Structure 1
Amino acid sequence: MSYQSINADGSVETTCTYGASKLLYRGPQRALERPYVACFGGEETFGRFVEAPYPSILEHRLQRRCLNFGSLFCGLESLTRDSGLLELANQSELCVLQLPGLLGQTNRFYRVHPRRNDRFVAPTSELVGLYAEIDFTDVHFVRHLLSRLKAHTDARFEMIEQELRKGWVERLGTFLRKVKPPVMLLELKADHHALGSVSDDPVTLDTSSVEVLVPQSAGLITLHVQVSGASDELEDMLFGTLQQPIAEHMIGPATHRRIADALNRAIRDLGI
């Protein structure tokens, strides 16, 4: 099943579903004919506002079917809880997994929406007790929540960070053990002084957390990227007038080509 999401300014983004997964993926829908390389991730893998995201470029580079299972707002929660997604992974011959950030996961301090992992649903009683001075009623997004907590700059926030890092390693490790084909990990790192969805989280991945997962994978590719608002790629993106502020936080087509080139070399080296 597929449909088109029409924005207020008339621009169109096509999404679709696959199998039993409840997530909306980059469209148009393609047949799940084997063999295929499965590319999982969030908005960078989805390729919002670009005509050719890195999975489609990688398909041409490899001369192998590469299916784009990028989903907007997909974080750790969706990735590790959606049984249909795991089935799509296990039907492939190779997976590319864009590593999710730390924030989009339900934990002992707060709950996130099961599919829109950027959405803050509610604090737990433990978080309310820890930050008794904060009113959470006007907080709707996880990034806003963590930014507000971090502004207090005391030892309490270290507890939040530790919980998120621990949950991230444990849940991704469990996920990787359930995936039967080889998994190539893709880490996109941005200049922390540049604006962008891949660079401005209040809590970011550390090297030690990522390295724990490498032995359970076929390899790790780490790329430093810039969002279009901090580079010269904005003019090459496809968006309506009202969407420019969002487009500035996305990576552009040249960056997608660079990601595809790096993946192409790494996958060919695997000899799979």
Structure 2
Amino acid sequence: MAFEYAGSGALDYFPCRYGKSKLLFRGPRRDLTKPFVGALGGTETYGKFIADPWPALLEDRLEFPVVNFGYLNAGIDVFYSEPQIPEIAKSSNLTIIQLLGAPNMSNRFYAVHPRRNDRFLRASNLMRAVFDDVDFTEFNFTRHMLTSLQEFAPDRFDTLVTELRTAWIARMRGLLEKVTGPKLLLWVADYHAPLESDPLGPEPLLVSKDMVAEIAPLADGLVKVNPSTMARSTGTVGMHFAPLEEPAANTMPGPIVHQEIAEALAPEVRKYI
């Protein structure tokens, strides 16, 4: 399922669209008129820098089509706002939904790009009132902004985190109501190297077990994958990227993490095919 550009070291993801959607998913394009399992998620599901991401590995284990609807830099907003998602779900035997972090979605404090959800667009009046001593024109990405605010104003940062978590639960409820038919939640816990830590916490960012417990009853099941120490320690081994992409590759889950995800999902997904 993976092809490389000759000599570049980078993968050709064969980006493709389905129906009238403007979103570019990982290809090659698949036939949605036949039975399949749909995999919704972000960069991890898309499989950035990975020749065979977990949807492809799961398909091999099941010997049943698993269509990759992973979208680069996606937050919940991408799928919540995409009118084609309910139609895709209607056609699938099962929809697997990766739990995405809370920062990359619009909320009462700030707005993000409707498709590149990691991009910060603007602060609301509420945000400017709470953080009246911050120049928001300096920020282009949500992670950079939140990390800076956490360091600069920790006493006020908790107010923003509370809003993000409340919005995450509401947005996930809305998405799960839109996705009809059987659906399985996929919770991929922190996949970074054991000695590395993000100041915002583990992946998925700012999502707690209590938040997941609140929305889990709206799905037919939940699979949590805790990547092994070995899987988290392999760095970029087995990944495909151009030389300038190495820093980005270091932040992504490697091939063994994808294998562990597929292995954890396989017995649960078999119940639906």
Q: 1:89 to 1:227 in 2, by over 3 A?
A: farther
2:11/2:240 contact within 8 Å kept: no
Look up the match of 1:31: 31
Look up the match of 1:183: 183
Listed as ranges, the gaps of 5+ residues in structure 1 are: none
The two structures have a TM-score, normalised by structure 2, of 0.89
Please say which of residues 141-150 and 224-233 is displaced more in the overlay. 224-233
The RMSD of aligned alpha carbons is 2.6
Look up the match of 2:99: 99
Look up the match of 2:251: 249
d(CA) in 1 for partners of 2:31 and 2:44? 22
Give the Å deviation of 1:61: 1.1
User: Quick one: percent identity of the two aligned structures?
Assistant: 36
d(CA) in 1 for partners of 2:128 and 2:230? 38
Instruction: Give a deviation string over 1:128-154, Cα, whole Å, max 9, x none.
Output: 111111011110000111111111344
Give the Å deviation of 1:261: 0.9
Listed as ranges, the gaps of 5+ residues in structure 2 are: none
Q: 1:210 to 1:35 in 2, by over 3 A?
A: same
SS at match of 1:234: coil
The two structures have a TM-score, normalised by structure 1, of 0.89
Instruction: Give a deviation string over 1:41-97, Cα, whole Å, max 9, x none.
Output: 001100111111111111121121110001101111112111122321222110111
1:110/1:121 contact within 8 Å kept: yes
Aligned ranges for residues 79-228 of structure 1 at < 5 Å?
Answer: 79-190=79-190, 193-194=195-196, 204-225=206-227
Look up the match of 2:239: 237
**AA partner of residue 65 (structure 1):** P
d(CA) in 1 for partners of 2:138 and 2:203? 19
1:143/1:202 contact within 8 Å kept: no
**AA partner of residue 236 (structure 1):** G
Please say which of residues 180-189 and 11-20 is displaced more in the overlay. 11-20
d(CA) in 2 for partners of 1:123 and 1:241? 35
d(CA) in 2 for partners of 1:242 and 1:171? 35
1:37/1:66 contact within 8 Å kept: yes
Higher share in strand: 1
1:194/1:230 contact within 8 Å kept: no
d(CA) in 1 for partners of 2:102 and 2:181? 24
1:228/1:247 contact within 8 Å kept: no
**AA partner of residue 140 (structure 1):** N
Instruction: Give a deviation string over 1:7-59, Cα, whole Å, max 9, x none.
Output: xx673432111112221111111121221100010011001111111111111
Look up the match of 2:45: 45
**AA partner of residue 46 (structure 1):** Y
The count of residues paired between Structure 1 and Structure 2 equals 265
Q: Does residue 1:263 correspond to 2:262, yes or no?
A: no
Please say which of residues 247-256 and 93-102 is displaced more in the overlay. 247-256
SS at match of 1:186: strand
d(CA) in 2 for partners of 1:261 and 1:220? 14
Look up the match of 2:21: 21
**AA partner of residue 252 (structure 1):** G
Instruction: Give a deviation string over 1:215-251, Cα, whole Å, max 9, x none.
Output: 1111111112379995125221111222111111111
